[in-house]
A and B are shown apart, each in its own frame.
Chain A
Amino acid sequence: MLSRTADDLYWMARYTERAENLARMLDVNYRMSLLPQASEVVERSWTATLSIIGLLENFKQRYEAVTPANALAFMAFDRQNPSSIYSCLRAARENARSVRGTVTSEMWETLNSTWLEMKSMDGRSATEAELGNFFEWVKYRSHLTRGVIQGTMLRDEPYHFTWLGTYLERADNTARILDVKYHMLLPHGEGAGGAADYYQWSALLHSVSAFEIYRKVYRDLITPRRVAELLMLRDDMPRSLHRCMSQVYMHLCSIRNDHSAETERRAGEIQASLHFGRIDDIFHIGLHEYLLQFLGRIRDLGERVAQDFLVATTKD
């Protein structure tokens, strides 16, 4: 397939996944900010969120104060923020549009309808109750897009590039969600229970659709260590780092070419370290440090994928 087509599909998938994870992250933050707590805690939480997705500077240039309303407007509806949900859905649709000869009609129509609906929404007038619905909507549209891909696409290269983009993005996003929440929550002490902590941890689990899974897997109290284990090391948890990297590795193998051996090896290495890793060792290194390193390796992988497959080479 054309390198440019692969590139567009890969980014179409990444932007779709990014929009969904943004919605998840904003949703949990928004719910948490409704809990009784000091305003500086709320502000700290939003600041941490903005900084983990790398947008704090950009935000500060455009808004005066870190308030839930400002942060939500910025990350959900702001047309000038290239990483807002609005912008991600637009970018996903633009990528799909330039490969609409390759994607199935159903895929194109799904992405196009999502965008048309997004475009018709007015974020400024969204009431608080509507915000929750909006985040749900983003998630459902993303579910739908994935379902259409799963249900209509031929299992050849375009399919693998699409999923490669999805899982690389999800690995990155899950790591960030975990990092920002962990940062916020850990100062309370690992052992500390308390109602507030319980809500915080359960909200985090909810944000990655892992609350029920946690109950099923551990049948026990929610502890930070187990939350981290679930979201990082369990291969059966669909949004965990381990699961994402297994998928990344698998799809990379399916699109193997003459230059991609090293990229494949590195993906396999990350996958293996998650497969055989122990949560105690990770806590020993420090979770934050571990996640930062993980994000670096994901970035490296993304660059290598671009180089091996997506940047057009003149000759072999």
Chain B
Amino acid sequence: MPPSRQPYDEMHAAPGDIRNHYQAFSNWLAATPAERLAHKRAEADMLFHRVGITFAVYGEEAGTERLIPFDIVPRIIPAGEWRTLAAGLKQRVRALNAFINDIYHGQEILNSGRIPPEQVLCNGQYRPEMQGIDVPGGIYAHIAGIDVVRAGEGEFYVLEDNLRVPSGVSYMLEDRKMMMRLFPELFARYSVAPVEHYPDLLLENLRSVAPLGVSDPTVVLLTPGAYNSAYFEHAFLAQQMGIELVEGQDLFVSDEFVYMRTTRGPQRVHVIYRRIDDDFLDPLVFRPDSMLGVPGLLAAYRAGHVTVANAIGTGVADDKSIYPYVPEMIKFYLGEEPMLNNVPTYVLRRKEDLAYTLDHLSELVVKEVHGAGGYGMLIGPAATREQLAQFRQRIIAAPEKYIAQPTLALSACPTFVESGIAPRHIDLRPFVLSGRDVTLVPGGLTRVALREGSLVVNSSQGGGTKDTWVLER
């Protein structure tokens, strides 16, 4: 894709030319007094504070809770575009699950020579402990958050597959609730597909992957605790699903069965929706200093007495160095052509990719293979000379830690900023659920880079969110 072209504007086909699906919104915006909008934006802020929809920022004073800025201009996706997108996402997640299952069993894709075995087996996210273990339904990534960006009309690129503990779905739900509360009249003008049933789908999904023979499983959500940056979401989802929100200290393993400590004694747990990384899950196997996990959990899991969602070891498929092979996986496991594009990716462990990247550093985005949350990345076109020089040294020192991609022309959506309404870059994270079937609610989390020209949408880097409307017709 040509990196330099004008970014796609979600609302305008050309200056003054409103796209069809934004026409009604645009009329409404023009007819709504500025004071009312300002008032509504302040109200949204107040409500988010009161409800405590906050996240903690690492590196700031302990206990700092901040709001993620919420923008009142929705991101609207026409029905037809969503159909294609949804089909492509399901296809991708099917292939990713098949890949993980294969890696922990026969490793046919490695044997066939399509992916170099050392790429997978020497990866820190590969868990030899999982080799040969059968998990219910062969499902590993029960919840996947796939980051998608738009380059042009009907032209979507997958940026990242988040298969470990993807977060953000609570903002998708709260943003919708907020929009309906602030501007109910807009929902009369548009038929927006509902997303509110996500927690029901998730619960049904989690129950469907309970260990064999358990008819009425007890599902819990395992959180690192109230000081985790995504704690709000953990509590929110547990409450919406009506399941216990547990910390590691609330669980224990006895004879390879998992129990929670209750006021009436131990109670068996069958499915753990965990929001803790593999490394911290079981101090007997992984990091011994972890206070967040449950000693003996892996043994119970291997014995098939408890289901962990997402499965241990899914990280092997969402690693940025594995990402370039996903189209290959789709062909290999499903015998289909990929419906969604991958961004061309230079894997810097390869000599020729490294050489190209070092020559074109100022045009590329360089990411850490294991990085997340927008930490530790370089955006070539926006970097200063010092930053480029520093990053060059880091790449040369450990090229296997990095990948590079062309700078994408992320689409832009009108957004409230200090100077008024101006286009800002956005992405989209839909949440794909895999259990008996692969499902997703029509929508996702739209993140917006609030700084002018910025391409970094992560909340930890000053990103905001928007309600995402998938139109029903």
Contact = CB atoms under 8 A, between A and B. Distances in A.
Nearest to A100: B235
B244 interface: yes
A113 B265 contact: no
B175 interface: no
A217 B234 CA distance: 51
Contacts, number: 75
A2 interface: yes
Contact of A4 (B221, B236, B247, B265): B247
Interface in B443-471: none
A157 B225 contact: no
A57 interface: no
Nearest to B239: A101
B245 interface: yes
Interface string A54-68: 000000000000000
A281 interface: no
B188 interface: no
B261 A2 contact: yes
A5 B261 CA distance: 10
B288 interface: no
B265 A108 contact: no
A255 B263 contact: yes
Interface in B402-454: none
Interface stretch (A16-24, A34-42, A139-147, A306-314): A306-314
A257 B250 contact: no
Contacts of B263: 1-3, 6, 157, 161, 255, 257, 309-310
B244 A2 contact: yes
Nearest to A312: B261
Given A2-B246, A102-B239, A113 B50 contact: yes
A4 B239 contact: no
Interface string B257-284: 0001111111000000000000000000
Nearest to B252: A314
A4 B249 contact: yes
B interface, size bucket: 20 to 34
A interface, size bucket: 20 to 34
Contacts of B235: 100-101
Nearest to A104: B239
Given A97-B226, A100-B235, A2 B262 contact: yes
Contacts of A100: 52, 235, 239
Interface of B: 49-52, 221, 225-226, 234-236, 238-239, 244-247, 249-250, 252, 254, 260-266
20 contacts: A1-B263, A2-B246, A2-B262, A3-B262, A97-B52, A98-B226, A99-B245, A101-B238, A101-B244, A105-B51, A157-B263, A255-B263, A257-B263, A258-B264, A258-B265, A309-B263, A313-B261, A314-B252, A315-B266, A316-B266
Interface of A: 1-6, 94, 97-102, 105, 108-109, 112-113, 116, 157, 161, 255, 257-258, 309-310, 312-316
Which 10 residue pairs are nearest across A and B when measured between Cβ atoms? A101-B245, A101-B238, A312-B261, A101-B235, A101-B239, A100-B235, A98-B226, A316-B265, A309-B263, A3-B261
Given A101-B239, A102-B245, 20 more contacts: A1-B244, A2-B250, A2-B260, A2-B263, A3-B250, A6-B263, A97-B226, A100-B52, A101-B236, A101-B238, A112-B51, A116-B49, A257-B263, A257-B264, A312-B249, A312-B261, A313-B261, A313-B265, A314-B252, A314-B261
